[in-house]
Amino acid sequence: MKQILQNLSNGETSLVEIPCPKNMQGNVLIASRNTLVSAGTERMLVDFGKANLLEKARKQPDKVKMVLDKVRTDGLFPTLDAVKSKLDQPLPLGYCNAGVVLESGVEGFESGDRVVSNGNHAEVVRVPKNLCAKIPDEVDDESAAFTVLAAIGLQGIRLINPTLGETIVVSGLGLIGLLSVQMLRANGCRVLGIDFDAHRCELARKFGAETVDLSKGEDPVAIAQGFSRGRGVDGVVVAASTQNDEVMHQAAEMCRKRGRIVLVGVVGLNLRRDDFFKKEVSFQVSASYGPGRYDSLYEEKGQDYPIGFVRWTEQRNFEAVLDMMAVGALDVKPLISHRFEIDQACKAYELLNDATALGILLEYPEKEESLLRSSVVNLQSTEPVKYTPSDPVVGFIGAGNYASRTLIPAFKEAGARLESLVTSGGISGVHHGKKAGFSTASTNLDELWSNEVINTVAIVTRHDAHADQVISALRSGNNIFVEKPLALRLDELNAINIEYNKVNEKRSEPLRLMVGFNRRFAPHVIEMKSLLESMREPKCVVITVNAGAIPGDHWTQDPEVGGGRIIGEGCHFIDLMRHLVGHPIIGHQAMMMGAAPGVEIRDDKVSINLSFADGSFGTIHYLANGGKAFPKERIEVFCGDAVLQMDNYRVLRGFNWPKFKKMKLIKQDKGQKACAQAFVESIRKGESSPIPYEEVMESSRVSIAVAESLRHGL
């Protein structure tokens, strides 16, 4: 299927062939019929992409501070690599979609239903149920494609809270502004529209508004004063797109005492205090298309807000817009200026800076469902590569930030043959698959399990998927590299262990099952392990992790999806301590920061104590409340009247350590490349896994047990 993608690094817009996304529970799979180009938002993205790095920095000053902080902690080159990688991610364009349901994973939607959604410009889209609404029979697909954009205007109107007969100004008569004019008129308001474009002013007048044509030098404040019969207008919906601060100044000047201003567009916000102070004018920014926006529980998990407490959500705003279209209160036909078939989409984007362009519609001719739902895309034009039996032939599951930036390049550099890259949406699979040299990109895991060429699977997905995918990979006879964690629960870990032993009973060469505990392979850790080999007495290890805060609504913090930060990341340090001591863990205790006003209490501010069979013990301080100027990771080992101290995988110091003083690297090395290299080499040479299976299970089991003890306050 075809989809429009934007390259943020150079501004290039392209139509790309990608595999059809796989539907998931709670989602609806939709075949697009029409999508609407949101000229304001999409022009802004294209212009941002075309800007050079300095201009990009000026447009996002908050990101500049984050970059500078990363330079201080991680160094210049890793930071530059991270910035380039972020800009390299393909961005799907569009959020105004009308189509037909192909497959439903929720109640209330069935195959064949006509629906609107915030799906992208693609032949097939997967959308959560709360971001979809059924299209009434009276509304055609072209009109329905305007629904999401109209809902943005409607939410701004709801915040303005207009009453019958009030005078409302709409500043900016683009698509949202013109849709807002009609909805305000339907609400019984007198409306004054303001714009520089004479044609748009003419459209607003046809919709029942009076207008101010700024291109003719008309004074908006003076006209608004007359329009309001000398009283000042009741409210202003700012739907303009400009960096000029004058728009907000004029809006405040137009308002009566205690008037209301709601910002729907994007304008300069260097507000003047006197504008608001003297009249007690209120100002509010509207968050897209209604309550639920940016709430993962509502949008991703489908948890609706009770209608008795939240009358208008995103989905209910969609329905309200469609109802207005159905009865003729909202007419979008005059707003359509251009139509293009999806194959000509790039021409549509050439019109974004054309003043005559308004509603640009993309049309999707009907195709056979089998063609639309193809789940595999060939990425190489050459003949398939022939592999030798000893070749590590890898199928990757997941192409997120860590997989694309770190693991895939590491496996490729190690000499692995990259065969198939499987992702749920398909976009990242095609993008990173082409760059890395994979043969195919897919959205179908079953095809990976049945691919007889593949003998190794790398699992780099969300944590809740790991256990099932590991078991499926074992059953398909593959070696497995799974990015931590191995599982989220002890019952999952036990199921993996049963399957691992069952499969390997029948094999002369056991399958390798390794978790990406890469810190074992860091140069400084290798040196520490070597120095500790001569020390026979018990050791005390202190690992301090300045982890940094992650928002509470991030998926890694969700116990059911990410498992929390101890299972999701703290397992690295439990395994690292196990590796440095070199003896089994026989006991563990953990303490979490206590409740305090204004402090979020989670398992990211904890202290973990481990005891070992040889008498060694250690403490892991995993803290999300530290400062960024401090090293992210510090390891200290006390043993034999001497100390080893390692900071951030760049400097290792020995204090009173025999024949060792210091080891320093130019840049940080956490061992990711060496970890992948060791795993790939073990397959090529027919050797056992670089990390013994028993230690993988031990570190995983202790990590889960520690997290559960913290969760239950034990």
| Span 524-535, pLDDT tens digits | 999 999 999 989
d(CA 274, CA 53): 37
- 90-92 and 124-128 beta bridge pairing: unpaired
- Look at residues 365, 334, 362 and name the one whose alpha carbon lies nearest to residue 348: 362
Q: Examine the domain organization and report whether 39 and 135 are in the same domain.
A: yes
- Look at residues 494, 438, 444, 496 and name the one whose alpha carbon lies nearest to residue 466: 496
Q: Mark which of 285, 309, 324 sits at the end of a domain.
A: 285
Burial of residue 708 (number of CB atoms within 10 Å: 0-12, 13-18, 19+): middle
Place of tokens 């003419």: 202
d(CA 149, CA 179): 8
Residue 329, C-beta contacts closer than 8 angstroms, at least 6 positions apart: 182, 183, 186
Report residue 238: phi and psi, to 5°. -95, 105
Q: Examine the domain organization and report whether 435 and 489 are in the same domain.
A: yes
- Residue 6 pLDDT: 86
User: Is residue 296 in some structural domain?
Assistant: no
Tokens of 642: 């001497």
Q: Examine the domain organization and report whether 495 and 550 are in the same domain.
A: no
Give me the CATH number covering residue 577: 3.30.360.10
d(CA 57, CA 61): 6
- Residue 381 pLDDT: 75
Q: Examine the domain organization and report whether 133 and 156 are in the same domain.
A: no
Q: Examine the domain organization and report whether 569 and 650 are in the same domain.
A: yes
Is 513:457 a contact under the CB 8 Å cutoff? no
Helix (H, G, I), strand (E, B) or coil at 622: strand
- 417-422 and 651-655 beta bridge pairing: unpaired
Give me the CATH number covering residue 216: 3.40.50.720
Q: How many domains does the chain have?
A: 4
- Residue 442 pLDDT: 96
DSSP 265: S
Neighbours of 94 (CB within 10 A): 25
Burial of residue 368 (number of CB atoms within 10 Å: 0-12, 13-18, 19+): exposed
The helix or strand, by DSSP H or E, that contains position 234, with its residue range, turns out to be strand 233-238
User: Is residue 163 in some structural domain?
Assistant: yes
Q: Examine the domain organization and report whether 125 and 10 are in the same domain.
A: yes
- Residue 65 pLDDT: 59
Helices and strands (DSSP H and E) totals, the chain:
26, 31
Please, what is the end-to-end C-alpha distance for the chain in angstroms? 52
Alpha-carbon dihedral of residues 135, 140, 141, 144, nearest 10 degrees? -60
Q: Examine the domain organization and report whether 480 and 427 are in the same domain.
A: yes
Q: Examine the domain organization and report whether 336 and 481 are in the same domain.
A: no
- Residue 41 pLDDT: 76
- Residue 629 pLDDT: 83
Q: Mark which of 340, 363, 386 sits at the end of a domain.
A: 363
H-helix segments, 327-436 = 345-349, 369-372, 401-402, 408-413, 427-436
Give me the CATH number covering residue 127: 3.90.180.10
- Residue 384 pLDDT: 67
Neighbours of 218 (CB within 10 A): 13
In a 13 Å sphere around the CA of 439, the CA atoms on its Cβ side amount to 18
User: Is residue 300 in some structural domain?
Assistant: no
Tokens of 417: 């043959």
Rounded percentage of the chain residues whose pLDDT exceeds 90: 78
For 487, the domain range is 376-515
Q: Examine the domain organization and report whether 542 and 412 are in the same domain.
A: no
Rg over alpha carbons for the chain, rounded to the nearest Å, is 29
Q: Examine the domain organization and report whether 511 and 540 are in the same domain.
A: no
Tokens of 37: 């180009």
User: Is residue 318 in some structural domain?
Assistant: no
Q: Mark which of 474, 500, 515 sits at the end of a domain.
A: 515
User: Is residue 303 in some structural domain?
Assistant: no
For residue range 606-649, list pLDDT tens digits in order: 999 999 999 999 999 999 999 888 889 999 999 999 999 999 99
User: Is residue 260 in some structural domain?
Assistant: yes
Q: Examine the domain organization and report whether 128 and 157 are in the same domain.
A: no
d(CA 339, CA 714): 63
Place of tokens 């809270």: 161
User: Is residue 313 in some structural domain?
Assistant: no
d(CA 208, CA 258): 26
Going from the first residue of the chain to its last (714 residues), give the mean pLDDT of each consecutive group of 10, the final group possibly shorter. 86 90 94 91 70 61 61 60 68 94 95 97 97 98 97 97 97 96 97 96 97 95 96 96 90 96 92 91 93 92 94 97 97 96 92 87 91 90 74 95 94 96 94 94 94 96 97 97 97 97 91 97 98 93 95 89 95 98 97 80 90 98 90 95 95 94 94 98 94 97 96 75
User: Is residue 438 in some structural domain?
Assistant: yes
Tokens of 59: 């447009």
Q: Examine the domain organization and report whether 640 and 693 are in the same domain.
A: yes
Is 483:569 a contact under the CB 8 Å cutoff? no
Helix (H, G, I), strand (E, B) or coil at 463: helix
Neighbours of 11 (CB within 10 A): 14
3-state secondary structure 182-228: HHHHHCCCEEEEEECCHHHHHHHHHCCCEEEEHHHCCCHHHHHHHHC
